[in-house]
Amino acid sequence: MIFQREIAGQKEEGLMRMKRQALDFVETLRPEDQVAVLAMGARLWLRLDFTADRKAIRKAIGDATRDEDIVRVDNPPEHSMAARLAPEDEERATSIEKALLAVGKALKPLPGSKAVLFFGYQVGRWNALAPAGSGDYHMGNVLYSEEYERAREMLSAAQAPVFTLDVSSGQHQLQEALRKLSFETGGFYVPTYQFPNWAMQQVASAISGHYVVVFAKPALGPGLHRIRIDSPRRGVALLYRQFYED
């Protein structure tokens, strides 16, 4: 779980709303499920390393927006974020794109089914375009940094789909960027300002199981290649990463 805090506190209402939903979600976890909690503010903070301890997970969610790192231990267990996410990596992650890249790198070596629950409101940067004299201020687009592209590729390679639970209190200009991040890594985007309980249930249902699709790699050159899987049934949406790198 990654909780993105807005420095000016304007997203606090949405974060509190979804922290309550996250606490309810913890009660649905299986005994073997493990959760790590991270907070993103002016930089990235690891608030809880992977654990199945429900009490510890609930406390970390409650404290998710505090600027405080975990107490690190020598010889961390195999399933550990701290073993692969050094304090200096967290300090350098001063944007959400850099944070997602660091998380992707830490998750890539870990075996098993993984998912990133992103309680956030922003990736990319809105660029308002208003040609002089046109009087049209409705144009604009999202600018994506190099770190964003690298983060998307790393999360896809880690087989860690991003499920974005948008904590904003309404529609906004960057929601398409959030939707793009989730879609391209194999997850989905869902707003939470109207039906937060339903939003959390949709994500919980999506990550309750997983499937493995194996296909023969085509004879293509090195680089980034798109994946397309067509559903055999009408109306059935398939969640899968959209690219692989050769």
State the CATH number of the domain containing residue 43: 3.40.50.410
The span from the CA of 85 to the CA of 90, in Å, is: 7
Cβ within 8 Å of residue 40, ≥6 positions away: 2, 3, 4, 5, 93, 96, 99, 120
Cα 67 to Cα 70, 90, 119, 148, distances in angstroms: 10, 11, 17, 23
In a domain, 223, yes or no: no
In a domain, 225, yes or no: no
Q: What is the pLDDT of residue 116?
A: 98
Reported as type and span, the H/E element at residue 36 is strand 35-40
In a domain, 242, yes or no: no
Q: What is the pLDDT of residue 138?
A: 55
Q: Structure tokens of 223?
A: 């680089």
Q: What is the pLDDT of residue 130?
A: 47
Range of the domain at 85: 2-210
In a domain, 34, yes or no: yes
DSSP state of 81: S
Q: Structure tokens of 227?
A: 């994946």
Is the pTM here over 0.95, yes or no?
Answer: no
The span from the CA of 204 to the CA of 198, in Å, is: 10
In a domain, 226, yes or no: no
Task: Look at the chain and report how many structural domains it folds into.
Answer: 1
Rg of the Cα trace of the chain? 18
Cα 233 to Cα 228, 229, 230, 236, 238, distances in angstroms: 15, 12, 9, 6, 10
Q: What is the pLDDT of residue 132?
A: 47
The CB-side HSE value for 43 (13 A sphere, CA atoms) comes to 12
In a domain, 144, yes or no: yes
> Residue ranges of the chain with pLDDT lower than 50?
130, 132-135, 137
CA-nearest of 105, 108, 86, 88 to 97 is: 105
In a domain, 234, yes or no: no
Query: Do residues 244 and 214 make contact, with C-beta atoms less than 8 angstroms apart?
Result: no
In a domain, 238, yes or no: no
The span from the CA of 104 to the CA of 162, in Å, is: 10
